[in-house]
Structure formats: structure tokens, C-alpha cells
Structure 1
Amino acid sequence: MFFFRVFAALALVAVVASCSKAPPSKFRTYNGPEVTQVVVHKATRRMDLWHHNQLLRSFRVDLGGNPNGHKEREGDRRTPEGDYIIDRRNPNSRFHLSIGIDYPNEADKERAKENGWKPGGDIFIHGRGPEFQRARGDWTDGCIAVSDREMEDIYAMVRDGTPIRIYP
């Protein structure tokens, strides 16, 4: 009788534990080759992660709502073009996860100053988050967007300090 009670108690604990599984973590691990450069091709809406001359992954991306041309000022909804650095991460982004691009650089700041503009900022590679799951086309304010699942992989693969080149 004692054996039956112990077995029943353990079975009940196993059933309860299987019913209360936590959702999968958005933080993934990556043990492959180091991502040495991120390359974005705005014209083809593609982002590539490279390890020197070896392509590791490619992603389809959405861009700023005004995708043609280099970002010049705050509010123009353009995605920057040129050479930048991944310089920060936001694990609590409203867009699921995000990694920051160091726009504006010194040249961007100088160009904006010459024209009497604010250069803007807060340019990220990010997911969609709960608010933008159904967004279509180029919908960001100048950022580079991928699906939440893809962003989990990118967040794990790309380290702060990684160069990013954004082509027209």
C-alpha cells in the first residue's frame, strides 16, 4: 500500500509539472563561427551575416517606411547607408529583441549640422514584437526588421563591436 501511495504521488507531480511548462526562452545560444560583419542590401531587402568570406546566414528584412536614400535627419523614416558598428543590445525591446547601430556617426552629425537638422538616432535591427506581427512592406521608422524568431538567432550570433555595412 505504501508503494502505491508513493507511486501515485510521484505520478501526480509529473502530470502537474508537465502541464505548467514555461514558454520557450527568447534567448538562444550560438556556438558557430564568429560573425565578423553584417551586410545589409537595402535594394534587395536582404541582410547577410558573414564570418570573413563565409556566408553564415541570410535574412529577408523590412526597412524604414521611406527606404530610398540615406537617413539624413530625424523623422525622415529612412534606413542609414554606410559603415557603422553594432554598439548595444536591448533584451526588453518592444520589438521582441534588438541590437543597436551606432548611427549617427561623425559624418552624419556634421551633415545634419550643416543643414540645420537633427540627425535622429535609435536605429536598431529588431524583431516585430506583439504590435507589428501583421505589418507588411517597409514599416519601420528607419530600423531593420526581421521576424521575432530570426531576431532570436541574430541576437545570439552578433556581438557588440561587430561592423555593419548598409548598401543602398
Structure 2
Amino acid sequence: MAAVDSAGENAVRVVKKPILKAQKVLIDKSERTLYLIRNGKVYRHYHIALGRHPEGPKIKEHDGRTPEGNYTLDYKNAQSHYYRAIHVSYPGPKDRARAKKLGVNPGGAIMIHGQPNWWGWLSPIRQRFDWTAGCIAVSNGDMDEIWQAVAPGTPIEIRP
């Protein structure tokens, strides 16, 4: 679409549609995909990287696994060490009970986040591998869209 800029020259303006608010986020670990869902239907999807040892649910701190189950995206952190972060409410009561039974710390600080602030330019390479400590990583551009779509209180389901 051609538009006239302030200098009176013809310019091309790209108008992005606003991102609808998600009613649910679904993570499919085996597909390495994050889905935004509204009215029961997927309306956006994104490639993700997971913890270094993605098979199975998170059991304990530092196991390199991404949790599995139903949680809430309960707060946002724009000042993260990664490009924006949205916190997953892990560990839940079942996670804590399992960890207590095993005599381990369940861990925490699980986030959906962009790239490390100092290495964002490596995103195209990093996103080909599972590299996080258990978080769900996306490219910074994808994080911008997810950030717009997800409000605190949004449910998240993380499937194997």
C-alpha cells in the first residue's frame, strides 16, 4: 500500500494487524510449538526451544526439563535477562508433592522468553536446539507477538 510520508515522498507502509488476546496457550513439546488459542481454535503458532533434556516432566531443579501439565501465565517481566519473559506458575501443588516425596527441590522460575539480551542475534541458530534450563524460548520477534497476546492469568497447558 502506498502512502505519503511527512516529506511528501511515496513510501510503503506495512500495517500489522493487532494480535488478539489469547484465551489459552498450548505448548506441544514433541512438536516444539507454542499455540495461541481463542474460542477453542488456534490462531497463531510459534517454533520453540525447550530445556536441554526435554523428554518427560520437570522433576527437580537443574534437571534441564520443561514442566508438563496445566499452569497459569501469572506475570510478565519486561526487565528480564532475556528479551521479555512471561512466568509459568510452576511448580504447582502436584509438582511440589512429587518433589517432596522424592526429597528434591522442584525448581521454579519457568518462563516463556525471548533470546538472551546479549545474544539475540544468534536466535536463528539457537532456536534449532533445546538450550534453556527448562524454560520455553522463542525468537524476539515471536516474543513481541506473544507478549501482546497474553495477559496475566492466561491458562497454559504443556503437553509431552
User: Is 1:165 paired with 2:157?
Assistant: yes
Matches within 5 A, 1:31-70: 31-70=18-57
Quick one: which amino acid aligns to residue 148 of structure 2?
A
Corresponding residue number in structure 1 for 2:8: none
Higher strand share: 2
RMSD, matched Cα? 1.9
TM-score (norm 1): 0.79
Per the normalisation by structure 2, the TM-score is 0.83
Of 32-41 and 95-104, more deviation after overlay is shown by: 32-41
Q: Deviations over 1:102-129 (max 9, x none)?
A: 0000000000000000000000000003
What amino acid is the match of 2:153?
Answer: G
Correspondence for 1:102? 89
Question: Given that residues 30 and 157 in structure 1 are in contact (C-alpha distance below 8 angstroms), is that contact kept between their aligned partners in structure 2?
Answer: no
Q: Is the 8 A contact 1:129 1:148 kept in 2?
A: no
**Runs of 4+ displaced beyond 6 Å:** none
Q: How many angstroms apart in 1 are the aligned matches of 2:118 and 2:129?
A: 15
Shift of the 156–33 alpha-carbon distance from structure 1 to 2, 3 Å rule, reads closer
Q: Deviation at 1:30?
A: 8.0
Moved more, 88-97 or 31-40: 31-40
Mind listing any 5+ residue stretches in structure 1 that lack a counterpart?
1-28
Q: Gapped runs of 5+ residues in structure 2?
A: 1-15
Q: Aligned to 2:49, what secondary structure does the other structure show?
A: coil
Task: Pick the structure with greater CA Rg.
Answer: 1
Of Structure 1 and Structure 2, the greater helix share is in 1
CA-CA distance at 1:147 after TM superposition: 0.4
